Amino acid sequence: MTDEIRELKKIIDESNNIVFFGGAGVSTESGIPDFRSANGIYNMDLGREVSPEEMISHTFYVRHTKDFYEFYKDKLIYKDAKPNACHLALAELEKQGKVKAVVTQNIDGLHQLAGSKTVYELHGSVLRNYCEHCHAFYDVDKILESKGVPRCDKCGGRIKPDVVLYEEGLDEDVISGAVKAIEEADTLIVGGTTLIVYPAAGLIRYFRGRKLVLINMSATQADSIADLVIRDRIGEVFSQVMGWK
C-alpha cells in the first residue's frame, strides 16, 4: 500500500460526511469507454462527417433521430457492464454511514446496481426512457429491441432517453441536491474525471469541507487545490483502501 493510499484511508476513517463526485473514468474498469482519452468515444473513427459530439446533441437527435439511435445503442448502452471495485466500495461506505451521496456524470446506472442509494445523476441514465407525447416509461430493453426510432406502445409517440444531450440543460432538482450534498460534506473525493465538462465540473466550487481528494489517471485543473492527488485506476485505489486486495 502506497503512502497516498494510506493517506486516503486515513481521511475516509476520519470523515463522517463524504461525497463522491465521479466521471467517465469510474466506469472504464467496467468495460465502458470514456469520452476524451485516446481510446475514448470522441476519438473513434465513425466513418462519418459528423463528430460523436454532434451525434449526441439535441439538434442531431431531433433532425436525424434514426441515426442518433444507431450511434446511441452502439456506443452509449452497455447493458452487460457490472459494477467495479469503486462502485462497490462507495456502496459499502454508504452502508457504513461514511458516504452520504454520489454525484455522477455517468449515465450507466452502475452506482445504483452496486447498491448506492443516494445518487445524483447529472446527465441522466440510459436505463430510463420516456415517450415524448404521453410520458410513458420504458426501460433500456425497449430501446435495444426497437428497430429504427423507438415508438411508444400506448400512443405511438417517439421515445427519448432520460439522458442530457449537448444543448440541453441539467435537471434543476438534481443540481440542487448535488450542490447541497457537496456544501455539507466534510470530505469530497473526485474521481475519474478531468473536470473540464461544465456546468457539472463547476460543482466542486461549492465544497467548503476539510479534505479534497482527486483520483485520476491524468492531471486535472483542480490538482493545485487538492489535499491529496492520486494517479491510479480508481477501482484499484478503492480495492486497496477497502482491504480487498
Task: Show which residues are catalytic.
Answer: 123
Bond into 199 cis (ω within 30): yes
The three cell numbers of residue 52 are 460523436
Task: Please tell me the number of Cα atoms within 13 Å of 40 on its side-chain side.
Answer: 14
DSSP 200-221: GGGGGGG--SSEEEEE-SS--T
Nearest CA to 203 out of 110, 102, 109 is that of 102
Cell of 26: 469510474
Measured CA to CA, the distance from residue 203 to residue 188 in angstroms comes to 11
Q: Is 171 helix (H, G, I), strand (E, B) or coil?
A: coil
Query: Hey, which bits of 31-98 come out as E strands?
Result: none
Helix (H) or strand (E) holding 58: helix 58-63
Angle at 44 between CA 87 and CA 139, to 5 degrees: 50
Question: If we measure between CA atoms, which residue out of 113, 172, 102 comes closest to residue 140?
Answer: 113
Q: Where are the beta strands (DSSP E) in 66-180?
A: 99-104, 119-121, 124-131, 137-138, 159-163
Q: All 3 cell numbers of residue 96?
A: 457504513
